[in-house]
Structure 1
Amino acid sequence: MYVRIPMDRIGAAIGSNGEIKREIERRTSTKLTFDSETGCVKVEAGNDPLGALKAENVLKAIARGFSSERAFRLLDDDQFLEIVDITDFAGDSERAISRLRGRVIGEKGKTRETIERLTDTYVSIYGKTIAAIGSAEQIAVAREAIEMLLSGREHATVYKFLERKRREARENLLAAKQQGTYI
């Protein structure tokens, strides 16, 4: 399988002296071959075919602007990568894309940090995409909050939504613990 990486993210995917590449290969039992001219990475599965899918997800996360440390969270079985395309909300207008990126980033990164903190996810805004890493439940809430912002909802409305979802998650966890169904 092949993964395309933007040229300016190839270095982040390989790492200093190839350390990130080696770490991905070691932890996923794969072989990675980088083509620095096209930005394509060939992912060859070793004895674990699931490892190739995990390596692909880690590379996609790095390509979408995440640090390797954050991308390695995808190696856990309960962690997923979700990518939202800003052009679905802004069309091809560079001004509209820039404005929507700014809405999700917020002043001094406050909005992005709030989404990360209240959903326990990592969020990266890169190019025309917004990506999130987290559990399935966390990502669903983060994606909804991001889409609310991209659709023009007020920041205060989105923050209230996030607070409500976090409170509901805590209540559900507490109820599960009391019933003894929490694992």
Structure 2
Amino acid sequence: MYVRMPLDRIGAAIGPNGEIKKEIERRTSTKLTFDSETGCVKIEAGEDPLGALKAENVLKAIARGFSSQRAFRLLDDDQLLEILDITDFAGNSERAISRLKGRVIGEQGKARETIEHLTDTYISIYGKTVAAIGSAEQLAVAREAIEMLLSGREHSTVFKFLEKKRREGKRISQQL
């Protein structure tokens, strides 16, 4: 199994003295081989083939700009990685992509932080993508909020939507 990473993210996946690489290998029972010239990472499965899939997800998350600590959340069985392509909303116009990235980030990172807080997800904006880590339910709400922003909806409208979804989620969990 192989994963291609941006060259500027290889160091984040290896870590100082190879610590992150060793931690991924230890926690997933895999062997990772990095090619720092091409950005290609070879994943060799150990006893558990599911470990290779988890290692792949962790590496993809790091490649999309997440810190290793946030990416390690993907080692939990209920956590998923979702990647949205900004070019689906902006085409290939660098100016439009930059503007939409700014909308998702918000002034001083406030929009991204608010979405993370209200959905209990982690969000990273990197290159031409917006990536999120969370449970399936959390990702559904976060994805909808991000798509609303990318489609041009007002931040206040998106935040009201997130507050409503959070209240609904609390009400459902109290009934259980």
Superposed CA offset, 1:11-38 (max 9, x none): 0000000000000000000000000000
Partner of 2:150: 150
Amino acid at match of 1:106: G
Task: Give the superposition deviation at 1:149.
Answer: 0.3
Partner of 1:120: 120
Partner of 1:91: 91
Task: Give the superposition deviation at 1:173.
Answer: 0.2
Partner of 2:53: 53
Amino acid at match of 1:112: R
Superposed CA offset, 1:16-64 (max 9, x none): 0000000000000000000000000000100000000000000000000
User: How many aligned positions are there?
Assistant: 176
Partner of 2:140: 140
The whole-number CA distance in structure 1 between the counterparts of 2:2 and 2:129 is 20
The whole-number CA distance in structure 2 between the counterparts of 1:129 and 1:65 is 10
Partner of 2:175: 175
| Other structure's SS at 1:140 match | helix
Task: Give the superposition deviation at 1:144.
Answer: 0.4
Unaligned runs of 5+ in 1: 177-183
The whole-number CA distance in structure 1 between the counterparts of 2:129 and 2:57 is 15
Q: What's the Cα RMSD here?
A: 0.3
Partner of 1:39: 39
Partner of 1:106: 106
The whole-number CA distance in structure 2 between the counterparts of 1:40 and 1:73 is 23
Alignment of 1:58-97 (within 5 A): 58-97=58-97
For normalisation by structure 1, the TM-score amounts to: 0.96
The whole-number CA distance in structure 1 between the counterparts of 2:121 and 2:81 is 10
Task: Give the superposition deviation at 1:84.
Answer: 0.3
The whole-number CA distance in structure 2 between the counterparts of 1:16 and 1:71 is 17
Query: Does residue 2 of the first structure (1) align with residue 25 of the second (2)?
Result: no
Q: Which runs of 4+ in 1 moved over 3 A?
A: none
Percent identity between matched residues is 84
For normalisation by structure 2, the TM-score amounts to: 1.00
The whole-number CA distance in structure 2 between the counterparts of 1:51 and 1:171 is 36
Partner of 2:129: 129
The whole-number CA distance in structure 2 between the counterparts of 1:29 and 1:20 is 14
The whole-number CA distance in structure 1 between the counterparts of 2:21 and 2:81 is 19
